[in-house]
A and B are shown apart, each in its own frame.
Chain A
Amino acid sequence: MEKQHHIQLLPGDIGETVFLPGDVSRAKIIADHFDSAELVASSRQYNTFTGMYKGVKVSVTSTGIGSAAAAIAIEELVKVGAKNLIRIGTGGMMQTWLPNPAILVITGAVCGDGLTREYFPKGFPAVADFHTVESMLASAEELGIEVHAGYEWSHDAFYAGSTLSKLNILEIEKPWIDAGVLIASQEASTVLTLATARKVRGGVILASAGCHQYPDKGATPEEMVMAISNATKISLETAVKLHALDHGK
């Protein structure tokens, strides 16, 4: 098999669990949490590190921003052997009752993006893999990290639906806020639906960078570093649990 067109990876280059940050620089930050890690490919915005964590081979590939780039990464990662795709990202919180920053285990997503509309029939649900959700919640509890479970509103236009938008975002987001959707971001619908269609596991864990209803009260950079680190720790323990589920201890 030739190297995959965009991610430049071959079978064997990655572990069964691959973490998917959007931010290119965050691939290295996540890999620094492994017991060992080395850069195996760097092409466009797709940086991949592979290493070991508690005896399990794990990888991280940065996807860049948005559903189009994330879908390319997922299609190609599945072809080279990925079985568990876990996005670790950030987003803008939509509910007022959550702490900030909060760490959110995503159980499902609103498909407000164009990619899932192109791939799937109308009404196809973006559902997180059940065992991945359970493993994330159990790992968070073991680590003593507070998490909340719920939905993401996935959409394409950051400068339409974020605190930096010139539009009235609370009006745009009202149906989702009223329905209890926790956070706005861009990739969960893609990760969850494509994982379902390719018969692999899909999961998403997010740190909220601020709340759309209180745009002046963003998390500090130090708080975000801590929140992303905690989301990474939960994801690594999740990889260990999924490995045990599939292959025994």
Chain B
Amino acid sequence: MNQETPHRQHHINLLPGEAAPTILVPGDPGRVKLFAELMDEAWKVTEKREYITYTGKKDGVLISCTSSGLGPSPTAIGVEEFIRIGTKNIIRVGTCGALQPFMKAGDIIIVTGAVRGERCTEEFISIDYPAIADYRIVRASIDACERLGLTYHLGLVRTHDAFYLESPWAHGDYKARLQKWVDLGVLAVENECATMLVVASMQGVRAGTILLSSDPIFGEGENDPDLEKHKRDLVRVGIETAKILHEMGLD
């Protein structure tokens, strides 16, 4: 297929101009509807496979939200296709397992970098290349949390492929498997962040990740009773971050 002429992207099913300059990317397709509820107005643009896209306006700023599905493979596809339609800022808004004992359910994690424990991005570039969030998106995310009065942590996460090896529902002694990441100061484990950061940054496109500590593994708050409220907070941080990027002239 000719990759130069604008065309509807193979998986996300979007044309250039059909999404806003900033796209928020939850893993869960269901969370796109939560985004739509929290906007002043929003409309469904398209739906194909696990990629559902809504676009809307909040305080006059145009923002889109496309689900990536779970894991590195669909995330890498989504990010590559967002870049091909001209997206400026790609921001994952997802859940994760928090690793540090000081972290509580409902805390927000703003990622500065990710351990590339997944295999997908090694097909694009050597493992030596770092998965790093764009510093302007980090700044916008910090300001968003402060505006909304939410607790946040700044730091590294681990991205990996096998959810059922490193989660509270995992086989065997998952805490022993996770201990080395706790010791290295890694804040959380999840399945998409490093993929997004590598695929975007190696093409000069800004990307970042904002996570909700939904399942603290070593801290307080397993089976969080306020999970639904906390998921709304996460999406609100994403929307506020997109607004701040607009104010910074970066969309």
Interface residues of A (CB under 8 A from B): 107-112, 120-127, 130, 133-134, 149, 151, 175-176, 178-180, 196-197, 199
Contacts and interface: CB of A to CB of B under 8 A. Distances in A.
Contacts of B156: 125, 127, 196
Contacts of B184: 120-121, 124, 197
B113 A134 contact: no
A197 B185 contact: yes
A149 B131 contact: no
A121 B126 contact: no
A112 B128 contact: yes
B187 to A, nearest CB: 12
Given A110-B129, A196-B156, A125 B116 contact: yes
A122 B130 contact: no
Interface of B: 112-117, 125-132, 135, 138-139, 154, 156, 180, 184-185, 194, 201-204
For the complex, would chain B's binding face be called helix, strand, loop or mixed by DSSP majority? mixed
B161 to A, nearest CB: 12
Given A110-B130, A175-B125, A130 B138 contact: yes
B163 to A, nearest CB: 18
A196 B203 CA distance: 26
Contacts of B129: 110, 175-176, 179
Nearest to B157: A125
Contact of A127 (B112, B116, B126): B112
The interface centre, meaning the residue of A107, A124, A134, A180 with most chain B CB atoms within 10 A of its CB, is A124
Contacts of B138: 130
Given A107-B135, A197-B184, 6 more contacts: A127-B130, A134-B135, A178-B202, A179-B129, A197-B185, A199-B185
Contact of A123 (B115, B139, B154, B185): B115
Contacts of B185: 196-197, 199
B115 A125 contact: yes
B202 A123 contact: no
Nearest to B134: A107
Contacts of A123: 115-117, 127, 131, 194
Contacts of B154: 130
A130 B112 contact: yes
B130 A151 contact: yes
The interface centre, meaning the residue of B113, B127, B128, B202 with most chain A CB atoms within 10 A of its CB, is B128
Contact of A121 (B115, B131, B202): B115
A190 to B, nearest CB: 13
The interface centre, meaning the residue of A108, A133, A178, A196 with most chain B CB atoms within 10 A of its CB, is A108
